[in-house]
Amino acid sequence: MDIAVIGSNMVDLITYTNQMPKEGETLEAPAFKIGCGGKGANQAVAAAKLNSKVLMLTKVGDDIFADNTIRNLESWGINTTYVEKVPCTSSGVAPIFVNANSSNSILIIKGANKFLSPEDIDRAAEDLKKCQLIVLQLEVQLETVYHAIEFGKKHGIEVLLNPAPALRELDMSYACKCDFFVPNETELEILTGMPVDTYDHIRAAARSLVDKGLNNIIVTMVRKARCG
């Protein structure tokens, strides 16, 4: 395998609406669809699209969404040996509400993702050791993320951390052990407490993380900063 993605999967429950209902109000929405997502699964699919051999470690629930999630990953050629079902638990789901301006509001129910543990990493150790890169995000328990980082360092495997969703409780000493740190500008603002409204501010915020010992910071741009 080239890449191991250790992290989340979500079922996106997407409602398109012209307006959000008020408390106690019922409105008709024009459209609804179900999609496969989650930050970890999205990373795995993106890597597979680039012809990488991908191993995925994640948890799904004991519900109608589980098999479809596994089939979707496998349809991209992703190795699902370590995609495990958790009994009596829902899969991770993300109800998403998209308004007429294409802005969205999202709720996340982690469900089975909460059960991905350091022990799951240890059980997959022999296959993980064959990977060149471990890719992580923060939609699973932090202790699992920290264990994956330590595992990568111990076995000489490069580690990429996308700190999403941004968590102020992230122990940055572990982030310093990663080979690549890939926040978007919103996450960069939350983690540094610095403004990110211009490119110069973004560079300064990223530099502050370098000064704290982080390596190879790549800031992805969700919104366009002002020049200057």
Domain residue ranges of the chain, discontinuous segments joined by +: 3-10+37-92+111-182
Q: What is the pLDDT of residue 228?
A: 46
Q: What's the Rg (C-alpha) of the chain?
A: 19
Query: Which fold does the domain 3-10+37-92+111-182 belong to in CATH?
Result: UDP-N-acetylmuramoyl-L-alanine:D-glutamate ligase (3.40.1190)
pLDDT digits (tens, 9 = 90+) for 147-197: 999 999 999 999 999 999 999 999 999 999 999 999 999 999 999 999 999
Residues in the chain: 228
- pLDDT > 90? residue 90: yes
DSSP letter string, 70-137: HHHHHHTT-EEEEEEE-TT-PPPEEEEEE-TTS-EEE--B-GGGGG--HHHHHHTHHHHTT-SEEEE-
Output the six-digit token pair for 50: 């680039």
| Angstrom distance (rounded) from CA 10 to CA 41 | 8
Residue 72 has pLDDT above 70, yes or no: yes
| CA atoms of 65 and 45, how far apart (whole Å) | 18
pLDDT at 100 over 80: yes
Q: Strand, helix or coil at 14?
A: strand
